[in-house]
């Protein structure tokens, strides 16, 4: 299980996007890829304009699910690595998260260091009148794909994982 925890922790650090699943107040689902950052407490953050469908859904129904998947996995060659989670989502103006911004900027720097061409950052995210908001999902539950698969079917099997200690340790080691 330690290998699974290490693999999923590494996946979070190496991924740029997560798939965000939201639903409106009628329960109509919507899925969106969002570029994310993470803090030491394993809370997931993303910037989005407030008028996007997933942002509107979060205001109507402040729970969401996420998936991060190893896109380099080749089917039938080993086991894929994936993380799934769900929990409450909060919406913030950037000024409300000033204390967290250094952590999020550090995360973006870590991630962008591995890119061949860093992405330019939008300047309009800092103005209170800007349509951009910061969203934070604090996962109530996390699951990963078990490396051995389902004992009867051999298919993928999701198992609950507790990443809190492993992730915090990995996060702090990057600060050193």
Of 137, 126, 18, give the one whose Cα is nearest residue 67.
18
CATH number at residue 158: 2.30.110.10
Looking at residue 38, what is its pLDDT?
94
Domain count, the chain: 1
Q: 47 with 107: CB under 8 angstroms?
A: no
Looking at residue 136, what is its pLDDT?
96
Looking at residue 20, what is its pLDDT?
98
What six digits make up the tokens of 125?
A: 């995210």
Q: 30 with 52: CB under 8 angstroms?
A: no
Q: Would you write out the chain's pLDDT as a tens digit for each of its 176 residues?
A: 688 899 999 999 989 999 999 999 999 999 999 999 999 999 999 999 999 999 999 999 999 999 999 988 777 676 778 999 999 999 998 888 888 888 888 888 888 776 665 555 554 555 567 889 999 999 999 999 887 666 666 667 889 999 989 999 999 998 87
pTM of the predicted structure, to 2 decimals? 0.87
């Amino acid at each position: 299980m330690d290998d699974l925890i290490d693999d999923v922790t590494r996946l979070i650090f190496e991924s740029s996007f997560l798939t965000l699943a939201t639903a409106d107040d009628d329960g109509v689902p919507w899925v969106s890829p969002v570029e994310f950052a993470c803090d030491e407490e394993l809370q997931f953050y993303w910037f989005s304009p407030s008028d996007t469908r997933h942002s509107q859904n979060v205001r109507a129904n402040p729970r969401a699910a996420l998936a991060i998947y190893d896109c380099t996995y080749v089917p039938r060659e080993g086991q894929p690595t994936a993380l799934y989670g769900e929990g409450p989502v909060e919406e913030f103006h950037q000024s409300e998260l000033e204390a967290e911004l250094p952590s999020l900027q550090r995360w973006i720097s870590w991630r962008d260091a591995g890119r061949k061409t860093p992405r330019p950052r939008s300047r309009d995210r800092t103005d209170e009148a800007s349509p951009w908001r910061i969203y934070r999902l604090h996962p109530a539950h996390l699951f990963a794909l078990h490396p051995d698969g389902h004992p009867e079917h051999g298919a993928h099997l999701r198992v609950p994982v507790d990443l809190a200690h492993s992730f915090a340790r990995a996060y702090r080691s990057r600060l050193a």
